[in-house]
Amino acid sequence: MSNTVSSHLALQYGNDVFLPAGIALTTPLVLLAIREYRREKPALALLIPIALMSVFADSGARFLTGLRMVPAEEHPVLYQAFGYPTPAWTLALYTSYFAYLAYLGHQSISERWPRKKFWLVMAFLLTFEIAFEYVLIHAMELCSYVGENQPLRMFRLPLFWPVVWIACPVLAGMLLCVLGEHLKSVHRLLLLPIIASGNMGFAVVLAWPTVQAVHSPLGSAGVSAIAVANVVAIVLTLHAVGRFSASPSGAPAPEQAAVSHGARR
């Protein structure tokens, strides 16, 4: 009986809370995308449909990480793959979530954020993600991570995966900015197959050591040790990509230019 009540509560949260929340978050993003497109800044106009497409790769990401939603029969299902149902309400919520974080990643390079600002934003996003997932798992019982050797598990939440869920869309936006500088107009659409892979594609790129470990005979201690090293690798990856210049002329970023100028002197 309690499981049935929990499932119906999850249905209520998913359809009555997250669906309108996703629509409410997506609407200002669309308006901002239109305004920026008119200013010849097409990044967000690309990221929103990319995020929409990446919803259809999300079951693969959950398969790799062991993240499960409530049983499929308890809510409308958008699609199912790898044995993992994707509820219909994620179409609105995930689209705004992925597009917004990817846009922040794009802006961090295009506006040449100082490294301190970038990492402060990342720390805030990670704190929010951990708190949000804790509520999803404990208060709403909308999802859970399955598997005995989930990395860095605390209160049923493996702390490694929130790092991945933040880093994946941010890296997607950063790559769109870096690679998009070398592509003009419709040629930017060539980036769709890469970036639209969403959390599934970028989780493999960023977190493959931990993904491999989770699906291996290693115990939780071994998997957690790999996850800690993996977090360091993710940080270094974001730092390395963030050093690229967003200048169409290929000019170095400000700190790189200063180093080059000092060397010439």
Q: Which helix (H) or strand (E) holds 197?
A: none
Per-position DSSP letters for 138-187, written without gaps between them: IIS--EEE--TT-TTEETTEETHHHHHHHHHHHHHHHHHHHHHTT--GGG
For residue 9, pLDDT over 80 is answered with: no
User: Torsion angle, CA of 209/215/220/221, rounded to 10 degrees?
Assistant: -30
User: What's the gap between Cα 85 and its chain centre?
Assistant: 19
- Condensed to tens digits (0 to 9), the pLDDT of residues 59-76 reads 999 999 999 876 545 567
SS3 category, 255? helix
How, if at all, do strands 143-145 and 157-158 pair? unpaired
State pTM to two decimals.
Answer: 0.85
What does the block give as tokens for 201? Answer: 């594609």
Task: State how far the Cα of 183 lies from the Cα of 180, in Å rounded to an integer.
Answer: 5
What is the average pLDDT value for the chain, to the nearest integer? 83
The span from the CA of 169 to the CA of 229, in Å, is 21
Q: Is residue 12's pLDDT more than 90?
A: no
Is residue 71 within 8 Å of residue 84, measured between CB atoms?
A: no
Helix axis angle, 90-110 to 43-54, nearest 10° = 140
Lowest mean pLDDT among 174-183, 221-230, 245-254: 245-254
Token duo for residue 148 = 């005995």
Q: Residue 159's pLDDT band (boundaries 50, 70, 90)?
A: very high
- Alpha carbons within 13 angstroms on the beta-carbon side of residue 45 total 14
Token reading at 74 = 């308890």
Q: In the predicted model, is pLDDT for residue 250 greater than 50?
A: no
Q: What are phi and psi of 87, to 5 degrees?
A: -65, 150
Rounded Cα distance, 200 and 210, in Å: 14
For residues 231 and 210, give the distance between their C-alpha atoms in angstroms, rounded to a whole number.
Answer: 10
- H-type helices in the chain, by residue range? 2-12, 19-38, 43-54, 58-65, 90-110, 115-134, 160-180, 192-195, 198-214, 220-242, 254-264
Q: HSE on the CB side for 227, CA within 13 Å? A: 23
